[in-house]
Amino acid sequence: MDSLNHSQNNNSNDEKEDQNNLITEKPKEKTNKENTIEKSNNNKEKKEKQAREPFRKILYLKQDYPDNYIDDSFLEKLILNANVHPLKFWEVSKSSLAITQQVTIVIIFCLVFFHALTNTITITHFFILDIFLVLIGYFIFLLILPIKTISINKFLHHLKVLLVLLVLLYCVSPVLRTLTQTFSPDTIWALTIILFVIHLLSQDYDYINGLSDKLNAPLSLNAAIFASVILASRLDSDMLVFAFVSFAIEIFGFFPVIRHMAYKLSFKIHFLLTFLMCFGTFVSIYVFNRFFSFLFVGVLLMMSVFIPGIFTYLHRYKITVNGPWDEAKPAPLYSLMN
């Protein structure tokens, strides 16, 4: 330990040296004897330093230094935390809202399923819900879009897509209803849970938080739609299945787009939306089961306060080490090939 400090004290950039010390934690078990030998060696070296040629980091010349000589330039090209910026709790908490939204959506979806299963929602209610969501969603979509880009052709195109989707879904809904008839309910619940976990883990939260402009989460969407299809297969009538799956497409397929646009528009809207979703979920769970509703509040607090707190706290221990030993990253091949 001593010898290293010795050689490093000469160096002017003290801050860096301290960090170096942190990284190269030296084994302290050197016997005193060894230490004194090294010290005296170092002193000798210092005296000779004036007379000798300065040390150079080269291999082709035999230099007048021992092979294990530690020069002042040792580790001077080391770069610590080149791309690490200290995180702020509020920023982490802010970006965790996207995850909160996604979790509430999954919970709402499951609640709606249980209501459909126990026939507390009738088909009529379901269709009203679907149409209401589509209209409201499209209305917000139009509101947020820049006015210049709106045209009648675009509207017709959207309408066409919607109709094709609905007709297709209507045609396959009898098949979907009988899809898992031979399966035990346990399999279905287990599969659904696994699929929703996959959905939550692989969702493109960057997109919802406005960091990227293209939704890139095919696995997430597939998992959610698959889960909704196998849940739908437990329902009684074809029409209910049709309504239920279209509901799933609305909230898993289209809703992220709206949320992305809302975030881009202003954070206040995003926050308000999250709050409304959380509140709505809380009320619907409260009606269902009082205990679960408080559990839900606990989960929310954990996601937006507790975990971001831990994350920011632990982030200060992050050290990235870069240096001349890193693999160089040349420009990707296609940039010149094309």
Partner 1 sequence: MIEEKDLFKPEEKRYRILMASDFFYPNVGGVENHIFQLSQCLIKRGHKVVVCTHQYKKRKGIRYMTNGLKVYYIPKQPTFRQTTLPTLLNSLPMFRNIMIRERIDIVHGHQATSCICHETITCAREMGIKTVFTDHSLFSFNEIGSFNLHKVSNYSLAEINHVICVSHTGKENTSLRAKIHPIKVSVIPNAIDASQFTPDPSKKTPGEITIVVMSRHTYRKGVDLLIQLIPIVCKKVPNAKFVIGGDGPNRVNIEEMREKYNLHDRIEMLGFVPHELVRNVLTRGDIFLNTSLTEAFCIAIVEAASCGLFVVSTAVGGVPEVLPSHMIKFAKPDAEQLAQAVIDSIGPSQEVDPWLFHSQVKNMYNWDDVAERTEAVYDKIQFDVQQPLVNRIHRYFNCGTWASKAFCFALALQFLFMLILEWLMPANEVDIAPDFPLKQFLKNKDKLNQSWTKSYKVIERANEK
**Dihedral sign computed on CA atoms, order 77, 78, 82, 88:** negative
> CB of 13: closest distance to partner 1 in angstroms?
16
Indicate the burial class of 52 (C-beta count within 10 angstroms; 0-12, 13-18, 19 or more): exposed
Output the CA–CA distances (angstroms, integers) from residue 10 to 39, 46, 64, 78, 233, in the order listed: 15, 11, 20, 17, 75
CB hemisphere CA count around 247 (13 angstroms):
28
Q: Which of 226, 225, 236 is nearest to 117 (CA)?
A: 236
Residues 40-69 that bind partner 1 (CB under 8 A): 57-61, 66-68
Stretch that binds partner 1, among 170-178, 181-189, 297-305, 319-327 (CB under 8 A): 319-327
Stretch that binds partner 1, among 103-111, 243-251, 307-315, 329-337 (CB under 8 A): 329-337
| Sequence-ordered strand ranges (E) for the chain | 79-80, 321-322
Tell me the backbone φ, ψ of residue 68, rounded to 5 degrees. -100, 25
Q: Which is nearer to partner 1, 65 or 271 (CB)?
A: 65
Q: Which is nearer to partner 1, 45 or 250 (CB)?
A: 45
DSSP tag of 250:
I
- What tokens does 134 get? 């589509």
- The residue from 15, 53, 186, 327 that contacts partner 1 (CB under 8 A) is 327
| Binding status of residue 322 toward partner 1 by CB under 8 A | yes
Q: Which is nearer to partner 1, 30 or 264 (CB)?
A: 30
> CB of 159: closest distance to partner 1 in angstroms?
46
> CB of 329: closest distance to partner 1 in angstroms?
8
| Binding status of residue 28 toward partner 1 by CB under 8 A | yes
Question: Quick one: residue 166, left, alpha or beta (phi over 0 = left, psi -120 to 50 = alpha)?
Answer: alpha
Q: Which is nearer to partner 1, 54 or 185 (CB)?
A: 54
Q: Which is nearer to partner 1, 38 or 250 (CB)?
A: 38
Per-residue interface string for the shown chain with partner 1, residues 273-312, x marking contact by CB under 8 A: ----------------------------------------
> CB of 244: closest distance to partner 1 in angstroms?
41
| Binding status of residue 15 toward partner 1 by CB under 8 A | no
Output the CA–CA distances (angstroms, integers) from residue 117 to 238, 289, 292, in the order listed: 13, 17, 19
Residues 61-120 that bind partner 1 (CB under 8 A): 61, 66-68, 70, 74-75, 77-78
Q: Which is nearer to partner 1, 70 or 179 (CB)?
A: 70
Give me the DSSP letters along 283-337.
HHHHHH-HHHHHHHHHHHHIIIIIHHHHHHHHHTT---EE-TTSPP-PPPTHHHH
Binding site for partner 1 (CB under 8 A): 3-4, 23-31, 38, 57-61, 66-68, 70, 74-75, 77-78, 320-333, 336-337
